[in-house]
Amino acid sequence: MEDPRLTGPAAPFPENSPEPSLAARVARSAGWIVGGRFVMGLFGFLNTIIVARLLAPEDFGIVAIGLTTMQILTNLSDIGVSQAVIRFRDADRRDLDTLFTLSAVRGALIALALFAAAPLAARFYHDPRVFWVFAGVSLYPLLTGFINPRFYEFERLLDYSKEFIAAVVNKLAGVIVSIAIALAFKSYWAIILGLATNGLVQLALSYLMRPYRPRVSFASFRKVLGFSGWLTGVGLMSALNNKLDPLVLARAVGVAGAGNYFMGLQLAELPTREIAFPATRAIYPGLAELQEDPARANLAFLKGVEAMSAIAVPAAIGFAFVAVDLIPFLLGDKWSAAVPVVQIITPVMGVQMPLLATQYYAMAVGSTRLVFLRELIFFFIRTPIFIFAAVSGGLLGAAWAVAGSGLIHIALNLALYSRTSCDRFWRPVWRARRSIASVAGMAAALAAARATGVLDGAAPLLDIAAQAVFGAGIYVALHALLWKLEKRPDGVERLMIALARPIVSRLAAKWR
């Protein structure tokens, strides 16, 4: 018999939810992560603008080949060190030393594989620079393979303040190195050495902030393998689904086209990556604490979907509208080919992001095998579609293939949710109904405003600001109206009001 808590009407926010202490810890953790991502995103955004203005699209295309290969090898051999530390709530020295040993061996093997593949890749792409790109990016997995596994205990304890500090210092160091080299040499080495700096600082801070002296050990090999076996498969399929694109495009349309796609994809992910990913990072440890109570874990997951939908979806749709003015203004006209990539892909990414936590939800309740099967099915659907579209349609064909495949991935995520939770597949969509309807209204209003030229200003920056303010106003007004029509149910609106009330009170007090 189906559990009525899962198949009945959507539960209100306060009822049957995780205990306040856990909810508060998750919210506080999300705040630290979002804060860290905001600071890192700001540094990264400034870095992207400066470096993109100094380098050419083909520089980014060349680096994308090496980075993509490194990421595929990294995901292929992923043993989920951080996830294992989080899920093994009783992890002892044997577990930690085994995770360290496996991670170090993995990092060294990836670096060797990149060196071995460097001459072959240079010949395949008919560009000797590819050899040095492969050699340079090999430093990152080599360095990060030796990271202290105890550092991830902060994440298990939902104490993200330490990670905030480490992430900001790490990002700032990489940005300084990257910009300095770009200014001095105007070379693709700016990106590579900035990445290597990230790895070095990340390694050092992991030991400075959580002292530990790991030993070489395989004592918990079977325990780790039992958890990470399917996780490795998930990492491999995820890499094949998301990282092959620049390799295909570099061969199909050249490195300049691959560079425009790479930049467009980075920008397309920007409005959602800085919102949804931090939230899911905070949600997973909370769900792991509820792994013995599937009903409560399900309610926590649905709350997360509703909250992320209210922010990530309008951010993505709004960004797609302003991209045509924003990208040339920030990066210059040489990146104009990246604009349609952003406009096509970003809206679908915005709808995908609220369901990003589906994977973490399934992992938290021990259904990693289902996550692997989802990625396997998606690979056999997406890969031939993308290759055909890239070869026949070039850059725009590739962008449309990614967008269409994204819709398929949404359906697979809903199926994964239904299978894992024994709930109806449409439940997450229903929880996000007011956000989806409000975004649709916002998009229609923005499209009408652009068509009539109502928001056209004297300068691009004024146009961008006017569209952002107009779109946000329409979205908030529609959201409030729909909430009122539904007789103000408990949901994300009440959460936003509760968060905003003390801020408004403090501001009002200052103005008195």
Domains in the chain: boundaries: 55-243, 246-512
> Which pLDDT score, from 0 to 100, does residue 113 have?
96
Is the per-residue pLDDT at 36 higher than 70?
no
Residue 15 is predicted with a pLDDT of 40
148 has pLDDT over 80? yes
Identify the weakest region by mean pLDDT among 8-22, 23-37, 47-61: 8-22
Average pLDDT over residues 9-15: 37
pLDDT at 6: 35
pTM for the predicted model, two decimal places = 0.74
Q: What is the mean pLDDT of the segment spanning 363-367? A: 71
Q: What is the mean pLDDT of residues 285-314?
A: 74
Q: Band the pLDDT of 7: cuts 50, 70, 90.
A: very low
Neighbours of 489 (CB within 10 A): 13
In the Cβ-directed half-sphere of 481, how many Cα atoms lie within 13 Å?
10
Q: Is residue 169 classed exposed, middle or buried when 0-12, 13-18 and 19+ CB atoms within 10 A define those classes?
A: middle
pLDDT band at 347 (very low <50, low <70, confident <90, very high): very high
| pLDDT score, position 12 | 36
The pLDDT confidence band at residue 473, using thresholds 50, 70 and 90, is very high
With 50 as the cut, is the pLDDT of residue 322 above it?
A: yes
What's the pLDDT score for residue 97? 87
Q: Which of 238, 278, 245 is nearest to 264 (CA)?
A: 245
Residue 289 confidence class, pLDDT cut points 50, 70, 90:
low
Percent of the chain with pLDDT over 70: 79
Amino acid of residue 199: G
Q: What is the mean pLDDT of residues 203-220?
A: 89
- Mean pLDDT across 497-502: 72
**Is the pLDDT reported for residue 501 higher than 90?**
no
Question: What angle do helix axes 276-289 and 255-273 make, rounded to 10 degrees?
Answer: 60
Torsion (CA) 376, 379, 382, 384 in degrees, nearest 10: -130
H or E element in which residue 188 lies = none
Mean pLDDT to the nearest integer, 302-326: 88
Tell me which of 102-116, 171-185, 291-305 is least confident.
291-305
Q: Give the residue-averaged pLDDT of 118-139.
A: 94
Listed range (201-215, 231-245, 288-302, 473-487) with the worst mean pLDDT: 288-302
Q: Do 199 and 146 touch, CB atoms closer than 8 A?
A: no
pLDDT confidence band for 19 (50 / 70 / 90)? very low
Among 88-92, 158-162, 226-230, 368-372, where is mean pLDDT lowest? 226-230
How far is 306 from 361, CA to CA, in rounded Å? 15
Residue 62: per-residue pLDDT: 92
Average pLDDT, the chain: 82
Segment of 33-42, 81-90, 403-412 carrying the highest mean pLDDT: 403-412
CA atoms of 412 and 207, how far apart (whole Å): 40
pLDDT at 160 over 90: no
Q: Does an H or E element contain 92, and which?
A: none
What is the spatial distance between Cα 69 and Cα 116, in angstroms, rounded to a whole number?
12
Q: How confident is the model at residue 39 (pLDDT cuts 50, 70, 90)?
A: low
Structure tokens at 119: 């001459």
Res. 451: pLDDT tops 70? yes
Are the beta carbons of 475 and 314 closer than 8 angstroms?
yes
pLDDT at 89: 61
